[in-house]
Amino acid sequence: MRDPLTFSREEWQQAQRADLDTKELKGVFKTVWETSDNRAALEQALRERGYWLAKGDRRGFVAVDYRGEVYAVARYSGVKAKEVEAKLGDPKALRSVDEVKAEIANGMSAKLQEFIKDVERDAQRRSAQIDFRKAEIVGRHQEERRQLAEAHEKRWQAETRKRAERLPKGFSGIWHRLTGKYAKVRAQNEHEALKALHRDRTETDALIFKQIEERQAIQRDIRAQRDAAQEELLRLREDVAHYMRSDRFDPDITPTRTRERTREDKDRKREHAPRTRRRRGFEP
């Protein structure tokens, strides 16, 4: 972990998903303690890892993270309070926990506002890309249908000429009419023409259905991207509101806890909701 004010958007999202356990936290504090010779060095090392040194109410030196959690330096570093005082001096020279929390809130609010602007800019770029992608697909689909219609027309003309050549003309045609052969050839031509018409319609329908499936897949992708962007914006705005509230560091009303409680309420309502009986058969 490091100073959250230097986080990128991706690092912020990762930090929101990851939580350090007590063992890892103590390892961080122990490393900082062992590599720092004085208060300035320890304060700098803590800031680089996302902690602010402050004056505690009863615990002397404490560290505050960007969520507002307070950690006793002595306890998490695995040393005695006297050792801390010997290395760091008098804690009264430091700011109080509330003052540090206020500084964190201001800094985090500004940082999160930057993230929101980044998301909005990404949404604008994505919208332009989506419009270009749609236009490209529409143009390509129109060209595919035009080429297929042109190919059908050429093939239809060639097959029509071939069928017409089967019908005898002149005296031979008269003779074929008298013998009934002409009617047989004409019936064969009509059957082949109808078959060719069905074939062309089937090919056209196959192309249209293929294009519809492609458009639907792209629409699903576009919808998923937009939903993800909206979800990220919602979370960032919740985080900003969290840091701007006077009770922002209450562990029961953090953005994560609020979202968890909302999901729990929805699950509880779903469990107690009356089940509707399904009717068999087709329901319009």
Between 275 and 205, whose confidence is greater?
A: 205
Q: Read off the pLDDT of residues 63-94 as tens digits, 9 standing for 90 and up.
A: 988 777 888 899 889 999 899 989 998 888 88
**CA-based radius of gyration for the chain:** 37
Q: Read off the pLDDT of residues 94-144 as tens digits, 9 standing for 90 and up.
A: 899 989 888 887 877 777 777 777 777 877 887 788 888 888 999 999 999
pLDDT at 125: 83
What lies within 8 Å, CB to CB, of 141 at 6+ separation is 211, 214, 215
Q: What is the mean pLDDT of residues 145-155?
A: 95
Judge contact between 17 and 33, C-beta under 8 A. no
> Where are the chain's structural domains?
4-95, 112-249
If you count DSSP H runs as helices and E runs as strands, how many of each does the chain have, helices first?
9, 3
Cβ burial of 46 (10 Å; 0-12, 13-18, 19+) is buried
Q: How far, in Å, CA of 242 to CA of 258, rounded?
A: 10
Between 22 and 253, whose confidence is greater?
A: 22
On the CB side of 86, CA atoms within 13 Å amount to: 6
pLDDT at 163: 81
pLDDT at 18: 45
**Dihedrals phi, psi of 52, to nearest 5 degrees:** -110, 130
**Dihedrals phi, psi of 57, to nearest 5 degrees:** -70, -50
The pLDDT confidence band at residue 251, using thresholds 50, 70 and 90, is: very low
pLDDT at 105: 78
Query: Strand order of the sheet with strand 61-65?
Result: 51-55, 61-65, 70-72
The pLDDT confidence band at residue 226, using thresholds 50, 70 and 90, is: confident
Q: How far, in Å, CA of 17 to CA of 13, rounded?
A: 6
What lies within 8 Å, CB to CB, of 50 at 6+ separation is 1, 2, 3, 4, 65, 66
Q: What is the mean pLDDT of residues 227-243?
A: 69
Axis-axis angle for helices 97-166, 9-17 (nearest 10)? 110
CB atoms under 10 Å from CB of 81, counted, come to 14
Asked whether the predicted pLDDT for residue 33 surpasses 60, the reply is: yes
Q: Which two tokens stand for residue 226?
A: 């937009």
Q: Which two tokens stand for residue 213?
A: 């499936």
Q: Model's pTM, two decimal places?
A: 0.47
pLDDT at 227: 80
